Amino acid sequence: MKHSKRSRPHHGKHEKRPAPKHQNKNTNQLWLYGKHPVLAALANPARKIKRLCAASQSRELLPASLQHPVEEMSTHEIAQLLPEGAVHQGLALLTAPLPGPSLEAILAPEGQPQTLLILDQVTDPHNVGAILRTAAAFGVAAVIQPQDHAAQESGVLAKSASGALERVPLVRVTNLSATLEQLKKADFWCIGMDGEAEQTLEQLPRYARKVIVMGAEGKGLRRLTREHCDLLAAIPMTRAVESLNVSNAAAIALYALRD
């Protein structure tokens, strides 16, 4: 049975990669690359396209209705524009970062079911991209991150998201604790994932409006973030491993708490 009225429990007890050789120094633009990220970006009216590069064998992947000019290049020439080792599949797009929506803009009216995901200082772009892809699969309305100590929009993140960066809003906030309190006032239940929590995901009620809060791999949730959650939950698992990758943990939590 889904819970809507609030009766809050007491609190339970409770990645840095080298700069690419051809890194773009202009923070107002970035390269996206690969079939799924580029095609999803081209289909997103919020994207401001600056350059579109395609190898001859990849032009057929582009939509017939495309209005933007295409620069035809060899795969080697495209690779020279991108970080070393980038798997571009013959497509690259220079674009401005997406405008981040405000928290208020993505909230459903009170009383309507909605699932949100908060990442507490998850900085690896591969993990954040994978989480966005999972969030899209489970109908998450938005992924929320702090302004600082978080993965920035990049080609690596977009490639890992496989197009989901264009579909799931990435909201940045200045203070996660204040954001959690704001969400509580909007009748959301804030569920912090903590490996030491006394209750497991299966033991939680099904809340219609919920926020799942994930901490960074290794460090977990910060103390203040944990204290501002309504309740904490653990993923039941054997002692064979100490913890899961945060993107895997997010997928399990979203599946277990799905509507």
Q: How many whole angstroms separate alpha carbon 183 and alpha carbon 187? A: 7
| Each residue's pLDDT expressed in tens, for the chain with a length of 259 residues | 455 555 555 444 444 433 444 444 556 899 999 999 999 999 999 999 999 999 999 999 999 899 899 999 999 999 999 999 999 999 999 999 999 899 999 999 999 999 999 999 999 999 999 999 999 999 999 999 999 999 999 999 999 999 999 999 999 999 999 999 999 999 999 999 998 899 999 999 999 999 999 999 778 999 999 999 999 999 998 888 878 899 999 999 999 998 7
Pairing state of beta strands 231-233 and 2-3?
A: unpaired
The number of beta carbons lying within 10 Å of the beta carbon of residue 230 is: 21
- Please give the domain boundaries of the chain with CATH numbers for all domains: 30-95 (no CATH), 100-256 (3.40.1280.10)
**CA angle, residues 198, 2, 220, in degrees to nearest 5:** 35
Question: Is 28 in contact with 154 (CB distance < 8 Å)?
Answer: no
- Six-digit token string for 52: 């579109």
Please, what sign has the CA dihedral across residues 170, 179, 242, 199?
negative
The pLDDT of residue 9 is 52
Q: pTM of whole model > 0.95?
A: no
